[in-house]
């Protein structure tokens, strides 16, 4: 086990779900959009503002549906559900998280929330049943990579940041966590993440 590692904090989208680049690609194909359309809109200042406002609870998911639909040229109805249709559970990562928790490791999910109404992307995951703590950005009006939300999550686990391992698929978030002293794991492939976490926490293969 990595020295002092007593907690595991996981991002949701792209860590406990399918790779988000693939999810976006499948969405673009279904909507007859050119590949790259979604990510270009996400990187646009207007797109960045929409995601930030949603994740901070400043706008509703319906507001995001309307605003982002306009940016990418699709219909807004249930856009979030359409976008996340292929965000399936990353079962290997969830399995190792349960294994770590059973071994006495404190576990948490830390998510920049995409809203829960009208579409709840977390509904099928039983996060509160599978993890010790669940922290949504909307509940605190703070979003990653703000260091305060990493500290809040560590506090909820009863740990200091340097005792925690943080897994995310976004480099800015990982850098912020690392600056607080967390051990970080970059999530690209669920099998690789599961392997890395078993090594860090000295957990046997299942």
- The CATH number assigned to the domain holding 54 equals 1.10.150
Q: What is the pLDDT of residue 152?
A: 98
pLDDT mean for each 10 residues of the chain (206 residues): 81 98 98 98 98 98 98 98 98 98 98 97 95 98 98 98 98 98 97 97 91
Whether 131 and 184 map to the same domain: the answer is yes
- CA-angle at 196, arms to 120 and 125, nearest 5°: 15
| Structural domains of the chain, count | 2
Q: What is the pLDDT of residue 21?
A: 96
Which residues touch 71 (CB under 8 Å, ≥6 apart)?
41, 44, 46, 47, 50
Q: What is the pLDDT of residue 76?
A: 98
Residue 2 lies in a domain: no
Q: What is the pLDDT of residue 2?
A: 55
Residue 59 lies in a domain: yes
How many Å separate Cα 159 from the centre of its chain?
Answer: 21
- Residue 58's domain comprises 20-83
């Amino acid at each position: 086990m990595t020295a002092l590692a007593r907690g595991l904090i996981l991002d949701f989208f792209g860590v406990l779900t399918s790779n988000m680049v693939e999810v976006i690609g499948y969405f673009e194909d279904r909507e007859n959009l050119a590949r790259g359309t979604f990510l270009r809109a996400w990187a646009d200042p207007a797109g960045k503002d929409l995601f930030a406002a949603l994740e901070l609870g400043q706008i509703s998911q319906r507001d995001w549906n309307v605003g982002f639909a306009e940016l990418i040229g699709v219909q807004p109805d249930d856009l979030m559900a359409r976008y996340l249709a292929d965000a399936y559970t990353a079962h290997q990562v969830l399995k190792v998280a349960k294994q770590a928790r059973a071994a006495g490791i404190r576990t948490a999910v830390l998510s920049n929330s995409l809203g829960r109404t009208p579409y709840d992307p977390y509904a099928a995951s039983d996060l509160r049943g599978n993890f010790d703590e669940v922290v949504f950005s909307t509940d605190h009006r703070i979003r990653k990579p703000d260091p305060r939300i990493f500290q809040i999550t560590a506090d909820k686990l009863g740990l200091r940041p340097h005792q925690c391992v943080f897994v995310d698929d976004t480099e800015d978030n990982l850098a912020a966590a690392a600056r607080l002293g967390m051990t970080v794991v970059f999530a690209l492939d669920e099998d690789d993440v599961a392997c890395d976490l078993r090594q860090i926490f000295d957990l046997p293969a299942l």
